[in-house]
Structure 1
Amino acid sequence: MERWNAQCAAGTDDNFGRELFLVPLDTPPYYAVGPMLPTFVNTHGGPKHDAAQRLLDADDRPIPSLYAIGECGSLWGPYDNSMGDITEFIVSGTNAARHALKETPWDAT
């Protein structure tokens, strides 16, 4: 984190030569995703969700604090979107996170 933030302050990414989109990560909490590899294997279908990625119950009401992203309730439905899956994961995950962050935290203990 210190190295990345220093590179952002300097305006250059020494690792990959980027000069754009250098945004410091200086406000926790932080979340990460493990390595992702492009693949052609996918599934379609899954639970129904609304535009905020919230899972819906049998009466089409949002289930509190339960979200679906990517192919889990894909926006493409039964159609094969070829290699667009990674994009769908990123877009739907970002959308779900934006809505989830607006929720009041609850204690799961």
Structure 2
Amino acid sequence: MTEKIPLYVIGLSKDDPANELIVSKFGGALEKVQQVLPDIIEAKISVKSQNPEGSRTHYDVTATVKTSKNQLVYTESDWDILKICDQLIKKLEREMPKHDDKRQRDSIRKKDV
């Protein structure tokens, strides 16, 4: 019933092990959120790295989730890209309670008296 949401990772090479981990983790979170937000069109993760030649690399990551009504944008920066991914997933999963409360409720006037 649910389709797989297209997920694009920009800024990391295809053979990078962090790329595969980000796709699997964020893809799982998107499937979880899709139950509450069924109108997700696509998701894009943009990674910008600073000082890649040095011993440590600083990452600035922007996750954009495009829905039919609006666009959700989350940003995070840190030295560890996997930690960033976990923080972005937490931010995305915080959308679930917001949209879950907007369900249509039964009208009081339509109840049997």
Q: How does the TM-score come out when normalised to structure 1?
A: 0.29
More strand by share: 2
Greater helix fraction, Structure 1 or Structure 2? 2
